[in-house]
Amino acid sequence: METADPRERTYHDLVVADVLTLLHTDADDGLAPEEAARRLEVYGPNQLPRPHTTGPVLRFLRQMHSPLVYVLIAAGVVTFLLGEYVDASVIAGVVVVNAILGFIQESKAESALDALRSMVRTEARVVRGGSVRTVSSEDLAPGDLVLVEAGDKVPADLRLVQGTELRADESALTGESLPVDKADSLLPSDTVVADRRNMLYSGTLITSGTGSGITVATGAATQLGEIHRLIGSADTMATPLTRKLASFSAWLTAIILGLAALTFVVGVLRGEPAADMFVAVVALAVGAIPEGLPAAVAITLAIGVSRMAKRHAVIRRLPAVETLGGATVICSDKTGTLTENRMTVQTLWTSTQEVPVEGPVEGPVGHGTGQPAGAVAAHPETLVDEALRWTLVAGATCNESRLGEDGVGIGDPTETAMLVVAQRFGITPHAMPRTGSVPFTSERQYMATVNTDPATGQQVLLVKGGVERVLARCAAQMGSDGTSRPLEEDAVHAAAERLAAGGMRVLATAIAFDPGPDALEDLAAGRGHGLVLTGLQAMMDPPRDTARTSVRTCRDAGLQVKMITGDHATTAQSIARQVGILGDGAPAGVLTGSELERIADEDLPDAVERTSVFARVSPDQKLRLVGALQARHHVVAMTGDGVNDAPALKQADIGIAMGVVGTEAAKDAADMVLVDDEFATIQAAVEEGRGVFDNLTKFIVWTLPTNLGEGLVILVAILLGTSLPILPTQILWINMTTAVALGLMLAWEPKEAGIMDRPPRDPRQPLLTRPMVWRTALVSALLVVGSWWVFQYERDAGSSLEASRTAAVNLFVTVEAFYLFICRSLTGASWKVGLFTNKWLLVGVTVQAIGQLALTYVPAMNTLFQTAPLGWESWLRILGVAVLVTLVVSLDKRRSILAARSAGRRADRQSDRRSVGSSAG
């Protein structure tokens, strides 16, 4: 036996004799049991390897490796040193809960790999030493002769030795939507995996026929093993939200440390004791840290999860809620997402008419679903055409499939589609008893049966198959009255080509009344003439009714929609045009997997940007396409259902798996699962994701001015050498209570009108835009000026230091409550949102007001927080300042909105001029 691992080469480009020679095995007797055991010891068990994983402690600690978490830990330490043990416990709880969630979610990749490993755990029938025995698939070795039949899961990669009517469902591995005919034939070395008809691949399913094959690859060397490796190597992308929060946290940390250092240095230089300055620095840090941000993020995302679940999208990883809202491109699979995932006859053609089969097929989801037996004919008037009637009868009778009692098709999808369309026209499948048959083979490309017509007792020969092969055996065609007329081959070919150009699979049916005794024998031998062509049936997996509308909505929202499928280019292009992915200004063109192989890595991002449809692509090519889009700074949403999709689902910014037809490997690699497999659900989830990001941004824009203002108040006090207007414990009260009672209420804000009319956010845009930074600075400055004025007014009026500080604390909270209503909309006037559209906000303001009254007037609270009661004059001044701040901020917001609209109109005019210039050129 050769020293090189025999699993490291390809075998589809070798004849069987050469394969047997290379692997030192036999096509009849297989390996000797002793040799099989020796090879198993050399090459290892036929199973996918388990990846190296880090221990649970390290994985848990890794969840805290974030600037935001560092800030939170610092806040907890500071509050603990201040003796505020309850607040310190709350902050510690937030850190621990976030770490636990991250710890749980990090097992996602391992689950995906476990799902793949389970796909190859099965039993196999193997020939060893001339005897057939059943062994565990893990005990297969290169060179083993494996027997397969309908219903078997292929246990390893096999080079086919022989097959009879053998077909395999390879959709999970290659994306091919129909079962693939398998036959022993020599193929070119550059044949892609999806077109290797002489190979059977591990994890795929035999749908019909029998066969045998030589094991050429096991374990990690199989095609499934290659996908396993790709999943392990695919990067788990940080979501846009986590990236922005990390950047924001680092920026915030730098500002806090800078202000703290400046405060300490200035105070010491002014002669203040270092210990006092440390207390002041602690107060500044406590004020500047937004302790409520992690809770706001978690709750806002959780509410988004709940809203998405109501719209049939199940979120598996919390940050993914927002990620989809930031998507700039959606890469969609074809089968099951854009299409119904069931073959359906679309058109019936005869020599005298063409009948479109209109309306959705009712019944359970699945291949070949249809109406129950006895359904009313869909087009009863057309059945006066005898050619059409016999076309339907031939399709439903010359047929090996059947419909179960629940209406679900059992067997080949194209055959069950013929059963369904026959029922829709009132024809009962298999109503004519069969007396003989010739099965379909990939060589003949047709099937034939002899049946007895129960109405006349006449023998009828029915044939169904490829147009070319059936036409070659026809001498005439049937007219609408049932009589034979001369065969018009050119017209039949033209009709078949036109239907096929629409992405449909076209089959022909033919008939012979009272066939001779040798008719079946001749057809079985590939001979036979004198048949009468009845007509054509054209079928396809049709697009979903909602797909076109959803694709248009996504494109109107500025998202690119691209189709990435393992199916054939013609079929993919046809569906893409029907759903609007091609045409209407979308990037044109179709690239196949073989064409992608010839594009250099540095040229691929540009090629992907200008292409909308990618057909016949392999798992590693899908991974490469996602990477190319990310290189262009796109936020990529990727859909898929098969094992072949799992690596790309993991690599994408958000992976979306199909819940109905998706494999476990795809679901485990994904961030989101569609319960109904509808593209429309993706569009709905994008809408919800945008709403989630809006609400998070609203919270940050609302909370930052308070935190910055509190820090600046401390800094100003140090610079002026006066008493602190607000104490550290009072700052903690403000931050923790307002974050819960006021800020978190923004998580329940409804989506703003026109949210899907906006373009996607630029992934490179920071969390806070320039206008938001300006507004934060403005509100912070107004808070500092207002609180100092209130504090100093109380002091000048003879109020105690405690009462003056109480007035400053209430000023902060009151301005925050007023500012909360301004933040309900970032792009328009807040009053248009409606006062009662978020009732939780009104509840929160009420709770906060009660809390402030308790802080001001309850003796125990006065003692704990060093506050004092206020008179009604003080409240009037506080309310006056709050109203003034609200007016100033509202006017500035109005100015900002008008400026943004003006800039948008200028950009539109420039875009129009460029378009006109381009058209003229």
Catalytic residues: 333
Residue holding tokens 């297969």? 140
* Residue 160 near residue 180 (C-beta atoms within 8 A): no
Cα separation, 909 vs 893, in Å, equals 25
Q: Which amino acid is at 22?
A: L
H or E, element range at 286: helix 274-288
Angle at 746 between CA 880 and CA 283, to 5 degrees: 65
Tokens of 171: 């959709």
474-478/531-540 β-pairing: parallel
Evaluate whether 648 touches 628 at the Cβ level (below 8 Å).
no
- Provide DSSP, 804-867: HHHHHHHHHHHHHHHHHHHTT-SSS-GGGG-TTS-HHHHHHHHHHHHHHHHHHH-HHHHHHHT-
b/e 862-875 (16+ beta carbons within 10 angstroms → b)? beebebbebeeebe
Query: Residue 7 carries which DSSP code?
Result: G
Residue 477: beta bridge partners?
Answer: 485, 533
Q: CB of 542 within 8 A of CB of 344?
A: yes
Structure tokens at 755: 């949210």
Pairing of strands 459-466, 505-513: antiparallel
Retrieve residue 121's tokens.
């755990």
Whether 816 contacts 883, CB under 8 Å: no
Contact 473, 463 (CB under 8 A): yes
**Sign, Cα dihedral of 878, 295, 258, 262:** positive
- Distance between CA atoms of residues 866 and 728, nearest Å: 11
* Beta-strand runs (E) in 487-551: 505-513, 531-540
Contact 674, 640 (CB under 8 A): no
Q: Which residues contact 2 (CB under 8 A, 6 or more apart)?
A: 22
| Whole-angstrom distance, CA of residue 220 vs CA of residue 260 | 56
Neighbours of 81 (CB within 10 A): 13
Cα 53 to its chain centre, rounded Å, is: 26
* DSSP-derived secondary structure letter, 24: T
